[in-house]
């Protein structure tokens, strides 16, 4: 049948936002192929939000349930997804390039004995094959690849495939599966202090050495708060290495790659390794007192000035906008 399989992601029984992006990517590919999209959810029991995947282009939402699948179980998930992919004869299998998806996709691809294109920013069907764009060399070049094996297994960089709502709703089915969790067992998850992850936030406000000391990050946190839960605070490598901020917040080559709608770089000079992590942001704003800072070369909008004056003013104005 050669349809497209979109592997959704859930945590604690709730569908994660990135799932709608994967389904959107799958729909785009399926339209080019004139085939259907199945969305696949692996969970302990039916998942909250799974019914909405139809609205993003899934013709059918399949939930594979097993009591062992309450938490992410790498080996168990990989086995049931690979089995399903094989049984369904899919043309392509799409994952999110999230922390979980990046772990899961290689296992599934290896089980299927096919190549994986990880962390892609675009995909198409041309010349009879699935082609993708994959940023390499810290985003300094784009590799265009053709996947010659079937199924084509890919993972989609979060925040790049903007979810598209469709009027159509899909059907749903729940299939209990026999499976063991496997030898690798997730025994718990701890939430970090900032609830929103920089890799997933639609607005990221990052601070660098220009903040002068760790306590001054409260200036950025106030701005993030003014955006009302849509913004996360990131950090440059310099301030993470200095111990001011946790590694989880680091944006750049040895940190996270982010593609938010709006990226605000505050007191960050713009070293090449930082740019690697944020250059695919849709709109970049730089606030820096040094007018010659390299960050201004990639920023769409720059404000030259003292961040301790500019950012509080910006926070005030944003509050008014949302107030």
Partner 1 sequence: MKIAVCVKRVPDSETRVKIASDGKSLDETGVKFILNPYDEFAVEEALRRKEQAGSGEVVVVSLGPAAAQETIRTALAMGADRGVLLEADRVPVDGLEVAKALAAELKNGGYDLILFGKMAIDDYNHQVGPMVAELLDLPCVTAVAHLDIAGQRGTAEREIEGGVETVEFPLPAVLTTDKGLNEPRYPALKGIMAAKKKPLELKRAALGAGGLEVLGLTPPPQRKDGKVVGEGPAAVPELLRLLREEAKVL
Site for partner 1 in 264-303 (CB under 8 A): 272-273, 276, 279-280, 282-286, 291, 296-303
Which helix or strand (DSSP H or E) is residue 157 part of? none
- The strand order across the sheet containing 92-96 reads 116-120, 152-156, 92-96, 4-7, 37-43, 60-65, 171-176
| Of 258, 307, 305, 252, nearest in space to 283 by CA | 258
Q: Which two tokens stand for residue 229?
A: 């839960």
Q: Which two tokens stand for residue 111?
A: 């089980």
Please list the residues that pair with 71 across neighbouring strands. Answer: none
x/- track of binding to partner 1 for residues 206-245 (CB under 8 A)? ----------------------------------------
Which helix or strand (DSSP H or E) is residue 198 part of? none
Count of residues interacting with partner 1 (CB under 8 A): 96
Taking contact as CB under 8 A, which single stretch among the options 27-35, 52-60, 110-118, 210-218 is the one that binds partner 1? 110-118
**Cβ distance to partner 1 smaller for residue 62 or 235:** 235
146 φ, ψ (degrees, to nearest 5): -110, 130
Please list every residue from 119 through 138 that binds partner 1, using CB under 8 A: 119, 131, 134-138
Q: Which of 51, 75, 122, 221 binds partner 1 (CB under 8 A)?
A: 75
Shortest distance in whole angstroms from residue 33 CB to partner 1: 18
Q: Which of 46, 139, 214, 294 binds partner 1 (CB under 8 A)?
A: 139
Shortest distance in whole angstroms from residue 189 CB to partner 1: 5
Shortest distance in whole angstroms from residue 280 CB to partner 1: 8
Rg (CA), the chain: 21
Taking contact as CB under 8 A, which single stretch among the options 22-30, 72-80, 160-168, 214-222 is the one that binds partner 1? 72-80
Q: Which of 32, 99, 172, 225 binds partner 1 (CB under 8 A)?
A: 99
Q: What is the DSSP string of 239-308?
A: HHHTTSS-GGGBBSTTSB----SEEEEES----HHHHHHHTT-SEEEEEES-TT-THHHH-SEEEES-HH
Residues 6+ apart with CB under 8 A from 63: 40, 41, 42, 43, 46, 47, 50, 172, 173, 174, 175
Binding of partner 1 by 74 (CB under 8 A): yes
Taking contact as CB under 8 A, which single stretch among the options 20-28, 70-78, 162-170, 209-217 is the one that binds partner 1? 70-78
Please list every residue from 161 through 200 that binds partner 1, using CB under 8 A: 182-192, 194-197, 199-200
């Amino acid at each position: 049948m050669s349809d497209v399989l979109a592997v959704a992601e859930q945590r604690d029984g709730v569908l994660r936002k990135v799932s709608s992006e994967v389904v959107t990517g799958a729909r785009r590919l399926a339209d080019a192929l004139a085939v259907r999209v199945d969305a696949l959810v692996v969970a302990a029991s039916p998942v909250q939000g799974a019914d909405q995947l139809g609205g993003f282009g899934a013709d059918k939402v399949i939930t594979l349930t097993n009591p062992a699948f309450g938490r992410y179980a790498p080996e168990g998930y990989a086995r049931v997804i690979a089995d399903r992919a094989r049984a369904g004869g899919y043309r392509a299998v799409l994952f999110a390039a999230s922390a979980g998806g990046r772990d899961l996709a290689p296992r599934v691809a290896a089980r299927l004995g096919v190549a994986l294109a990880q962390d892609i920013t675009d995909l198409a069907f041309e010349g009879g094959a699935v082609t993708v764009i994959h940023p390499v060399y810290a985003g300094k070049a784009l590799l265009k690849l053709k996947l010659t094996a079937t199924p084509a297994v890919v993972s989609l960089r979060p925040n790049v495939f903007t979810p598209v709502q469709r009027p159509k709703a899909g059907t749903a089915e729940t299939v209990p599966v026999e499976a063991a969790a496997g030898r690798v067992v997730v025994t718990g998850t701890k939430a970090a202090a900032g609830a929103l992850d920089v890799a997933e936030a639609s607005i990221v406000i990052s601070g660098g050495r220009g903040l002068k000391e760790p306590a001054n990050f409260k200036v950025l946190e106030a701005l993030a708060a003014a955006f009302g839960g849509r913004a996360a605070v990131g950090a440059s490598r310099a301030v993470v290495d200095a111990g001011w901020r946790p590694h989880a917040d680091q944006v750049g080559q040895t940190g996270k790659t982010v593609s938010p709608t709006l990226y605000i770089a505050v007191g960050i000079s713009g070293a090449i390794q930082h740019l690697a992590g944020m250059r695919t942001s849709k709109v970049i704003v730089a606030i820096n007192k040094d007018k010659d800072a390299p960050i201004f070369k990639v920023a769409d909008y720059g404000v030259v000035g003292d961040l301790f004056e500019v950012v509080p003013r910006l926070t005030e104005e944003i509050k008014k906008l949302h107030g």
